[in-house]
A and B are shown apart, each in its own frame.
Chain A
Amino acid sequence: MQFAKDSFLMALQQRLAALNPSRVVTVNGATVPAILVVENLPPSSAEPQPNTFYVEWGEAGVIEGHAGNNAIMSLECAISYYTLGTVQSMVDRGRVLGELDEELLGMCQPPNTEKRDYTQSPSADLGTSVFWGQPLLGESKKSAVTDNVERYQDARVERKAQLTIYFFSEVILQ
């Protein structure tokens, strides 16, 4: 499963770097494309940074009846991000959120990537792909005023997108 998670993240990182090279974030002194996996960050990490995509993995399971011993698996994925806009008045935060939405949709195309073993260098092709459904651009919390975004006291607007990735398990089921 880790191969699938790594492959998905690497694909999205590379695609984000191509889509918007300036969308970067600094983590432990290193500048990387602004898409991070929460479980890969130290627990003591600071508050999430704006204009950065945070990936969280959710429920996983085997899908029966599709692939024999090589089980096809599903894994839920949530990608959260927020922005405060780019100007002091924050009046462009909706537009920036729209840019982030477009970048997420762009990163997810095409909706598949090779599954590779990144525990070795160079990485090894594992012979199948990781593929996924189109992301659902949902909201994290409802607001009585705004329909799709949540207003915090700092007036941030945020999004929580969800999708499911699929891949063949490395475990041979009997």
Chain B
Amino acid sequence: MSTTPLRAAMVPFTRQMRAYFAPVNRETETPTIFDPGLSGAFPLASPPSPWVDLGWVEGLERFYDTPTDVVQSGSKLLPAVQFRGPLEARVEFDFREWGKLQMALAGGSEHMNVLAPAGNVTTGPSGGVPLPGVAVLPGSTASELVLGTGALNAFPAGTLVAVDVDYQQQTGYVGSGISAAYVTSPTAVNQDLNYVRRVTFNVGRVAETTTTSLLLVQPLLGGAPASGASVQAVIAFVDREGGAFFQEWSALFVAEQESGGRICFYYPRLSPNPGAASKSTSTKSATGKSAITSGTAANTLRAFLREEWMLLVKPLSSVSLRAAFLALPYIDPNDGQTVLCYRSYFPAPMAAVY
């Protein structure tokens, strides 16, 4: 037995995994970059912009589905060289917290803001005819919506609001700052003036009102309202089984350092892919579930449950959102390699290196 510590232990311990997401520019398929050198050691409660903290996640599983094949040569068919087959990686986990973004990512397709109805005129499972929007005036910011006097009464403190431009019969991606849906033709969305606000990620909650403006609890995800934007009250959020649109986001998962070292998993481009089974192995971060360690076990087709119910004490349960994603490729500018995911490790100060 020695009492001289030759080196500090290098075993990472973590309590839970934390998830951060940031938009991908869908027009150019440009992800949000997580640069470990610039922003790797950020405080977990205040991620660098534009990363959005989506809270703790449970049961994170990272599946490696890229086959490695061998070229054999000679009369004895000895292995000569290896090569990687088609790249594929998946990630699955449960969002413990519910919100606009968590639901959109777990649902995977267009995510609807149920706009406050104009009355019992028409009904719809994702909202009927809404109250008309109120124009947002110049001088507004991501945290303050200037409406002028008289228009504020419809938005008392506590009101959820959606802020975006009117639908102008355009096709393609819609949603200011963050692509929220893809419109193939104006008729597909009934030429609805409110369609963009039905799907936009620019939602917030009114903290208080001034004489002319609404002050929001959290800033709009897409930034300051675009010119010509309007605001409408939101009653609820709805996701749907179905829909043609695929969300696509950059994702960062951080295992909070308990024993000193921080582990980060960065996916430049993740697209929801619920229900698809992994072909290979996984690593698992969460407590309470046994890890899948072999291809045989992972190859077993598992039912995909949209929600997980975690018993607190009968009859109380917490409900989490099950989410699954396929990693899309990104070209690393340092060497032109196509990659799906980055794993980075930040050793504790004064920890041994190897």
Binding site for B on A (CB under 8 A): 66-68, 70, 72, 110-112, 114, 125-129, 131, 166, 168, 170-174
Question: Quick one: which of B306-354 are within 8 Å of A by CB?
Answer: 348-352
A128-B259 CB under 8 A given contacts A70-B9, A72-B11, A168-B8: yes
Judge whether B1 and A172 touch: CB under 8 Å.
Answer: yes
Inter-chain contacts of A67 with B (CB < 8 A): 9, 11
Identify the closest chain A residue to B9 (Cβ): A70
Which 4 residue pairs across A and B have the least CB separation, nearest first?
A127-B8, A70-B9, A168-B9, A131-B258
Binding site for A on B (CB under 8 A): 1-11, 13, 15, 256-260, 348-352
A129-B260 CB under 8 A given contacts A170-B5, A171-B3, A172-B1: yes
User: Could you jot down 26 A-B contacts, CB within 8 Å?
Assistant: A68-B11, A70-B5, A70-B8, A70-B11, A110-B256, A111-B15, A111-B258, A112-B258, A114-B260, A114-B348, A114-B349, A125-B349, A126-B5, A127-B8, A127-B260, A128-B8, A128-B9, A129-B257, A129-B259, A129-B260, A168-B9, A168-B259, A170-B3, A171-B1, A172-B4, A174-B1
Chain A nearest CB: distance from B3 CB in Å? 6
Inter-chain contacts of A72 with B (CB < 8 A): 9, 11, 13
- Consensus secondary structure, chain A interface: strand
Q: A131-B15, A172-B3 are in contact. List 17 more A-B contacts (CB 8 A).
A: A68-B11, A70-B5, A72-B11, A111-B15, A112-B257, A112-B258, A114-B260, A126-B5, A127-B7, A127-B260, A127-B352, A128-B351, A129-B348, A131-B13, A131-B259, A172-B5, A173-B1
Identify the closest chain A residue to B5 (Cβ): A170
Inter-chain contacts of A173 with B (CB < 8 A): 1
Judge whether B258 and A129 touch: CB under 8 Å.
Answer: yes
Judge whether B258 and A126 touch: CB under 8 Å.
Answer: no
Chain A nearest CB: distance from B153 CB in Å? 38
Cα separation A114 to B352 with both chains bound (whole Å): 15
A128-B260 CB under 8 A given contacts A68-B11, A72-B11: yes
Q: Of B2, B3, B13, B349, which is within 8 A of A127 by CB? A: B349
Cα separation A4 to B256 with both chains bound (whole Å): 20
Inter-chain contacts of B8 with A (CB < 8 A): 70, 126-128, 168
Chain B nearest CB: distance from A93 CB in Å? 29
Identify the closest chain A residue to B15 (Cβ): A111
Inter-chain contacts of B351 with A (CB < 8 A): 127-128
Inter-chain contacts of B350 with A (CB < 8 A): 125-127
Cα separation A112 to B12 with both chains bound (whole Å): 13
Judge whether A127 and B348 touch: CB under 8 Å.
Answer: yes
Cα separation A93 to B339 with both chains bound (whole Å): 60
Cα separation A131 to B8 with both chains bound (whole Å): 15
Identify the closest chain B residue to A173 (Cβ): B1
Inter-chain contacts of A126 with B (CB < 8 A): 5, 8, 350
Most interface-central of B4, B258, B349, B351 (chain A CB within 10 A): B258
Inter-chain contacts of B13 with A (CB < 8 A): 72, 131, 166
Cα separation A15 to B349 with both chains bound (whole Å): 21
Judge whether A172 and B2 touch: CB under 8 Å.
Answer: yes
Inter-chain contacts of B3 with A (CB < 8 A): 170-172
Judge whether B1 and A128 touch: CB under 8 Å.
Answer: no
Cα separation A173 to B13 with both chains bound (whole Å): 19
Inter-chain contacts of A112 with B (CB < 8 A): 257-259
Chain A nearest CB: distance from B67 CB in Å? 32
Inter-chain contacts of A111 with B (CB < 8 A): 15, 258
Most interface-central of B4, B8, B9 (chain A CB within 10 A): B9
Inter-chain contacts of A174 with B (CB < 8 A): 1
Cα separation A129 to B346 with both chains bound (whole Å): 14
Inter-chain contacts of B10 with A (CB < 8 A): 70
Q: Of B2, B15, B257, B348, which is within 8 A of A171 by CB? A: B2
Cα separation A168 to B258 with both chains bound (whole Å): 11
Cα separation A3 to B60 with both chains bound (whole Å): 34
Inter-chain contacts of B349 with A (CB < 8 A): 114, 125, 127
Most interface-central of B2, B4, B8 (chain A CB within 10 A): B8
Chain A nearest CB: distance from B261 CB in Å? 9
Inter-chain contacts of B1 with A (CB < 8 A): 171-174
